[in-house]
A = this chain, B = another copy of it.
Amino acid sequence: MSHAAARTEIPTALDAERGEVACRLALRHAGARDVRIAWELNGPADAPLLIVAGGISANRHTLASAAFPETGWWDEQRGFGIDPTRFRVLSIDWVGADGSIDAPIDSADQADAVAAVLDALQLPQAVAWIGSSYGAMSGLQFAQRHPQRLRGLVVISGAHRAHPFASAWRALQRRIAALGLESGDENAGLSLARQLAMLSYRTPEEFAARFTEGTTVDGDVVRVAAEDYLDACGARFIGRMPPVAYRRLSESIDLHHADPAQVKVPTTVVAIAEDRLVPLPDMLDLSAKLPHSELHVLRSHYGHDAFLKETSAIARVLRAAIETST
């Protein structure tokens, strides 16, 4: 069976389930809160468990299934790097993604939320936490706080800290969203913030290959070649997240601080040389400070978004890491 065939084939038996865990979490900044943590499990009940987590706009629906056939946020990896016929995949909606918490949220809170779901579902241990971007940050927290729950960790394009330049970039995105709210045009603000974020997710190299120069339209407006693309990115983002969730999860990246020396779980670090949001030096630093790490540096003109775009290269790393931990 080719990979392409594997990726598009969805088992016909009921293969996935969803639920919510109601519990009281001691949030690091926001204090003790009653929260409901939405989860999804995809794969055979007796298969070894993988915890999979993506960026702040990802959710519990990682892979399509017979039960939930909509495209998952990481569907490109279905049957490639993540095989839901051999593993059971657990993902959650981020704490705060429903807009119910208007207070600082920490990546450690996300780790504790996943631990609470494991408790509730009586799943003692996972083969690995596979995290990209914010999911990698939360994975470092999970490995640090709940080491007995995990045999391995894969962190892709997420480090032990937010880089100060990336933090400034996100702070401006939050201010743009706030300006939209103040002006009564919430969607315009969120769309613009997302467009700015796209510039940090992608690279000049990709834009140079894709877009040409600016021109005048009707002799008056100047329009640069990337604007149609950015407009589409902004439009797709609207309605995906309440503004308060966007703000608090974006902030959460900037509050993130893990101590790599305390991560005892064997960790596969995947860095993208061209990533402008999580620069290579921070990923090298992370790898050097982890007691047990294996470093992969990939090249991609998709930069930070490589985990969503470089399907084959990411799949190879995932398969090897999962085999090692299984």
Contacts and interface: CB of A to CB of B under 8 A. Distances in A.
B230 A168 contact: yes
Interface in A133-185: 161-172, 175-176, 179-180, 182-185
A254 B224 contact: yes
Contact of A188 (B104, B164, B179, B227): B179
Given A222-B254, A254-B214, A179 B171 contact: no
Interface in A248-286: 251, 254-255, 257, 276, 279
Nearest to A252: B222
A154 to B, nearest CB: 24
Contacts of A203: 165
Interface string A174-216: 0110011011110011001001100100011001101111111
Interface string A98-124: 000001100000000000000000000
Contacts of A223: 171
A225 B225 CA distance: 33
Number of copies: 2
Contact of A176 (B29, B104, B179, B182): B179
Contacts of A184: 183
A182 B167 CA distance: 27
A304 B180 CA distance: 29
B172 A211 contact: no
A219 interface: yes
A46 interface: no
Nearest to A170: B224
B208 A165 contact: yes
A61 to B, nearest CB: 28
A226 interface: yes
Given A29-B219, A188-B179, A167 B213 contact: yes
Contacts of A167: 211, 213-214, 224-226
Given A207-B164, A213-B254, A224 B171 contact: yes
A26 B255 CA distance: 54
Given A104-B219, A171-B226, 8 more contacts: A164-B204, A164-B208, A167-B211, A168-B230, A170-B224, A171-B227, A172-B230, A204-B276
